[in-house]
Amino acid sequence: MWGRIFLSPKLLSRIHLTWSHRHLFTMQLKTKEFESLFTDGLKSLADIFEKHRFELRIAGGAVRDLLSGQRPEDVDFATTATPEEMKRMFQAAGIRMINNKGEKHGTITARVHNENFEVTTLRVDVQTDGRHAEVEFTTDWQKDAERRDLTINSMFLGLDGTVYDYFQGYEDLQNRKVRFVGSAAPRIQEDYLRILRYFRFYGRVASEPDQHDPDTLEAIQENASGLAAISGERIWVELKKMLVGNHAAHLLELVYELGLAQYIGLPAEGNVEEMKQVCQKAYGTSPKPVTVLAALFRSPDDVERLDLRLKISREEKTLGLFLVRRRRDLVKGQDEHGGLKPFTDFVIDSRELDAQSKVLELLKYQGEVKLLAELKRWSIPRFPVSGHDLRRLGITTGKEIGTTLQELRDIWKKSRYQLGKEELLSTISRS
Ligand SMILES: Nc1ccn([C@@H]2O[C@H](COP(=O)(O)OP(=O)(O)OP(=O)(O)O)[C@@H](O)[C@H]2O)c(=O)n1
Ligand SMILES: [Mg+2]
């Protein structure tokens, strides 16, 4: 689960604020997470840009993470150098570049000291179709900040620790506010995936579930159908992140209220009430994204339709189908010790490798938190009798071996997998 962003007094004491410009707010950041980014690779990269007098700054998400006291998972860099200038610079320094498809959008990936660095030229999106952008390069940092989605994602961080903040991203981060840069509607129309990014970051930043700016929600609602043209893969990546974050049930309910569901593969008549209950019951158990979505589904067809739109993985699909089919009939046992038994029997009878992990998700779905802990500790016992043992006792036909093994398995399961080989075999001689 995403950690909540929290600016501790200790972190705050390491940030020094100055107003240096009418729009631009700068401050100094000096944290151990920031210092830890300075590998040999980054130092060499910085030297090259400095030598050629181009600016190089950390951009976007990584700045947000660092200002929240977190070490970013990936760090994107922005620069005033054009891709051509970067290529010349890197070639002259004998640095290998990784051929990726980013160059058209200004991104060059350099490999320095066994580390990859993605550096993107500052740009303005001149034309967008809601999915892709045609870009023009610039040396104006503010212009590049203007084309970004959210204020908290629009900051830059110089390698000397200076934070450049044009749109009060830092203030929003402190106040746990998720705002689009400028007005929401045009930002969304540039890339409709931003609707889901808004939800994902809301879950990450906001402390309360219902503190949305009404104008933002209105813009999302009005632009909902734009999501229809976004690829399933991109949607699935964002949706999954939202589902494992904070306020997931609230955000998913909002997805329905704002009319987004039909455009992202979710059932038009999703069972929102069940989903809210499941989220509540499963709180703290880290259910998988599909487990949360399964609560919305009314039939296996809903899983098929989700797969058709989002191209989920095979594992995700089988989990979804399993939950929808078994959530009401594979339930805990009634006798006092046997709560877990139907579930362990199911795992033992299943031929599938991931049966146990599917059942763990089912227990989360049902809110059986105690049984969940028990099943996590349980390891599959081995059935102690083989066909070979039966042949030694004179049972020879394949058919008879098959039925006897099945009978012995049932006896073994009834004994809660306690009976050993000899005890089981002795039950045959008596019968
Ligand atoms: N639809 C998008 C996607 C990205 N961005 C900008 O590009 C940056 C990097 O994008 P990405 O790596 O996809 O997201 P992050 O914000 O870095 O989040 P994460 O931590 O998940 O990588 C974002 O911070 C944001 O400034 C944007 O404006 N609009
Ligand atoms: Mg990122």
Angle at 360 between CA 357 and CA 366, to 5 degrees: 150
Nearest CA to ligand 1 atom 14: 61
pTM score:
0.89
Per-residue model confidence as pLDDT tens digits over 217-237: 999 999 999 999 999 999 999
Q: Give the pLDDT confidence score for residue 7 in this predicted structure.
A: 59
Q: Which atom of ligand 1 is nearest to the CA of 241?
A: 21
| pLDDT above 70 (res 167) | yes
Q: Which atom of ligand 1 is nearest to the CA of 149?
A: 28
Per-residue model confidence as pLDDT tens digits over 75-99: 999 999 999 999 999 999 999 999 8
| 248: three-class secondary structure by DSSP | helix
Per-residue model confidence as pLDDT tens digits over 35-55: 999 999 999 999 999 999 999
Q: Which atom of ligand 1 is nearest to the CA of 148?
A: 28
Q: Give the pLDDT confidence score for residue 11 in this predicted structure.
A: 66
356 contacts 375 by C-beta, under 8 angstroms = yes
| pLDDT above 90 (res 259) | yes
pLDDT confidence of 430, banded at 50, 70, 90?
very low
Query: Which ligand places an atom closest to the C-alpha of 5?
Result: 1
Nearest CA to ligand 1 atom 23: 60
Ligand 1 centroid, distance to 197 Cα (angstroms) = 9
What is the rounded end-to-end Cα distance, in angstroms, of the chain? 55
Three-state SS for 4-57 is CCCCCHHHHCCEEEEECCCCCEEEEECCHHHHCCCCHHHHHHHHHHHHCCCCEE
pLDDT confidence of 190, banded at 50, 70, 90?
very high
| pLDDT above 50 (res 72) | yes
Q: Give the pLDDT confidence score for residue 137 in this predicted structure.
A: 94
246 contacts 2 by C-beta, under 8 angstroms = yes
Per-residue model confidence as pLDDT tens digits over 138-160: 999 999 999 999 999 999 999 99
Domain locations in the chain? 1-175, 265-380, 387-430
Architecture of domain 1-175: 2-Layer Sandwich (3.30)
Q: How high does pLDDT run on average in the chain? A: 92
Q: Which atom of ligand 1 is nearest to the CA of 197?
A: 1
Ligand 2 centroid, distance to 164 Cα (angstroms) = 18
pLDDT confidence of 431, banded at 50, 70, 90?
very low
8-state DSSP, 68 = T
Ligand 2 centroid, distance to 59 Cα (angstroms) = 9
pLDDT confidence of 8, banded at 50, 70, 90?
low
Query: Which ligand places an atom closest to the C-alpha of 245?
Result: 1
Nearest CA to ligand 1 atom 8: 60
Write the CATH number of the domain with boundaries 265-380: 1.10.3090.10
